Structure 1
């Protein structure tokens, strides 16, 4: 017998699993998630887990505020501890233009009751006394930001979704999005077709490929990002805020008593997720130049994942009018984990009712045709 579903979701990262869970909570009867690998094995599982409210656009701020509430209630709602650590986020500015940007955005963020403060160089020294600040002129700090565990949060949604009747098929790749009479009719997979009137593209870095399967141009491109983790650093016994050197496109945070720091940024779009161990010395040198105490630390492990980048550094969310039944929730541009909870709730609302409790229409796919893009400068790959 041919497989059928009311809704098929492509991708089992936090966005796909959150959509599935919220669809089930909101009353959807037959929801299937199809994942080519394993749950949380892609971009979500290889992220640094950052969660922040310091954004330049109103909609990103709303998504952060909503997701923050959802991370706080995961233990009660999903029965999982996402290990959310509110250590704060610190953005450091090197140029007057960067500091002016932080100051302008802080005013916007405070209007939404986000406790952001502009800090001097002396204030930065108090927060992270081991950071070299001779070229830093100030920064922006929010104590309620932080990071959580991507695997735990994603598996929380996946497990809760399965309890509610959602089927999640792992190691089952989608090879084609089926269309009949110009509308979506399901998906072809490595283990046979699944007929469904609704298909959701939550494929993260592969969102562009999945869009092409449906005959839709989804302008999402993958860019490799690398992360390294050291052994214990005594100075990190009091965990630092997640600290971003905005000018140098580099960040670090604590990780089990050691230091997690970002590696090199790829300039070309590829699906490469291997670690450049041969260039580790360059990554360490960049880290040591900002945090000199890391010179004595030993890098214990590293990994690489992908950002799913859109042209304006914002997610692409919504229905696709030229392909009735096809929905897109991808291109988060490095914000997928932190915005995954709210994205799932809002996309479920849109699919089931056509309306959302937070207006996500500015992030519709059509903005790239109408020219109504909404640029987001507060991204790691943009700095």
Structure 2
């Protein structure tokens, strides 16, 4: 697999680095650490690589800074890095379900166009190739996936891609092992302590010391960080994706986003994969504070989404008519109050970096966030300015509960029901 970083630095060979979490961000961190010259890299994972939210991801990547997420130029650089990273994997002939089919932000009405599509078209971060499509053009481009009489218009980014998240993570795992990285699967971290000269990591399999730690545990980040006295403002949400039975769809269809429906939808090996944010469930509403590592399995939530949404979606997407649920999965993406990413040293520590707050964009930003985490823990200059992603942009006690984080988000407070888009990628 081609390297997307600079040459390895011999001075890092002796540093002992642990990465906690083997999702797409954690594996990207380990990959970039090894590419940078670190030779003692250990990945600690409570289950198996990609066994949690990453494995439930829908797997699409695009320029989300263009009118969809307030991530600015820095976010755009991370998004482009992700696009280039996955293309590099594909170009060496490794199967990751790669589809260079673009991303369609679709509106059903004139109001929807002005609220959701116009900001994409007018964004300074939109690529020059962004296309303003009429309903007829949408019908032609999607080749029967969308009934053009049911939609208004859309913005099409030809640079968007689709991939299989498990396959992509598996490629990184193989590369990490080839370069000498060590996986400690089935190992739960129970505490970390920064002693200044080193970090102690306590697990259910024993204690060991390292020179630096990157915490990339997703929805479990705060459990790992607990003993450091810092809590990230993360709203943990149970999100569901459904894959239909085979619909005979071509592999050339774009990812579809419709914020009026809080919907994402894409082709996956001839079937339809879809999900809607209207049936996401914040964990604090369940009364559960602790989440079992891995993927949730709430069949009632999945069935409610299918029962409620399908009738409307079948009018817009003919291939869903008569479809059946072939498989489904759930993950626990984490939202932040400002919809921004998180990466940086944990305040009060010198040897611990935390990364997360994916806001359902972990697959898009995972490669870049992994590289940034590696650079930060190794003391290198980050390839992207991390100021807007720092942990301490939030005051230590600014959000005492996840309910307070939810109230700060339009999607969960109810002020804007269409809210931040459901990416589920």
Q: Please indicate the TM-score interval, normalised by the length of the shorter structure.
A: 0.7 to 0.9
- Asked if 1:33 is matched to 2:43, the reply is yes
Mapping 1:149-228, distance limit 5 Å: 149-180=164-195, 185-228=199-242
User: What is the distance in 2 between the residues matched to 1:278 and 1:251?
Assistant: 17
Residue 389 of structure 2 is matched in structure 1 by: 363
Distance verdict in 2 for CA 1:239–1:298, change over 3 Å: farther
Tell which deviates more after alignment, 35-44 or 214-223: 214-223
Which of 244, 247, 255 aligns to 2:257? It is 244
| RMSD, matched Cα | 2.7
User: What is the distance in 2 between the residues matched to 1:188 and 1:54?
Assistant: 38
Distance verdict in 2 for CA 1:357–1:380, change over 3 Å: same
User: What is the distance in 2 between the residues matched to 1:165 and 1:381?
Assistant: 34
How far apart are 1:108 and its partner, in Å?
Answer: 3.2
How far apart are 1:12 and its partner, in Å?
Answer: 0.2
Residue 275 of structure 2 is matched in structure 1 by: 262
- Asked if 1:69 is matched to 2:84, the reply is yes
Tell which deviates more after alignment, 26-35 or 4-13: 4-13
How far apart are 1:31 and its partner, in Å?
Answer: 1.4
Contact kept in structure 1, 2:90 and 2:98, CA below 8 Å: no
Q: Helix, strand or coil for the counterpart of 2:332? A: strand
User: What is the distance in 1 between the residues matched to 2:147 and 2:338?
Assistant: 32
Which of 131, 146, 161 aligns to 1:146? It is 161
Residue 137 of structure 1 is matched in structure 2 by: 152
Tell which deviates more after alignment, 286-295 or 145-154: 286-295
Contact kept in structure 2, 1:226 and 1:275, CA below 8 Å: no
Contact kept in structure 2, 1:319 and 1:326, CA below 8 Å: yes
Residue 374 of structure 2 is matched in structure 1 by: 348
Gaps spanning 5+ residues in structure 2: where? Answer: 1-13, 285-290, 399-408, 411-418
How far apart are 1:320 and its partner, in Å?
Answer: 1.9
Distance verdict in 2 for CA 1:309–1:166, change over 3 Å: same
Distance verdict in 2 for CA 1:213–1:24, change over 3 Å: same
Contact kept in structure 2, 1:177 and 1:184, CA below 8 Å: no
In the TM superposition, what whole-angstrom CA distance separates every residue of 1:123-177 from its partner, at most 9, and x where no partner exists? 2222234424556432111122121111121121122112212111100000111
TM-score, structure 1 length as denominator?
Answer: 0.88
Residue 298 of structure 2 is matched in structure 1 by: 274
TM-score, structure 2 length as denominator?
Answer: 0.80
Distance verdict in 2 for CA 1:136–1:76, change over 3 Å: closer
List structure 1 segments (4+ residues) > 6 angstroms apart after TM superposition.
none
User: What is the distance in 2 between the residues matched to 1:165 and 1:135?
Assistant: 53
In the TM superposition, what whole-angstrom CA distance separates every residue of 1:219-258 from its partner, at most 9, and x where no partner exists? 1232111111112224x23642111121111121111211
Gaps spanning 5+ residues in structure 1: where? Answer: none
How far apart are 1:307 and its partner, in Å?
Answer: 1.1
Residue 379 of structure 1 is matched in structure 2 by: 421
Contact kept in structure 2, 1:228 and 1:262, CA below 8 Å: yes
Tell which deviates more after alignment, 348-357 or 335-344: 348-357
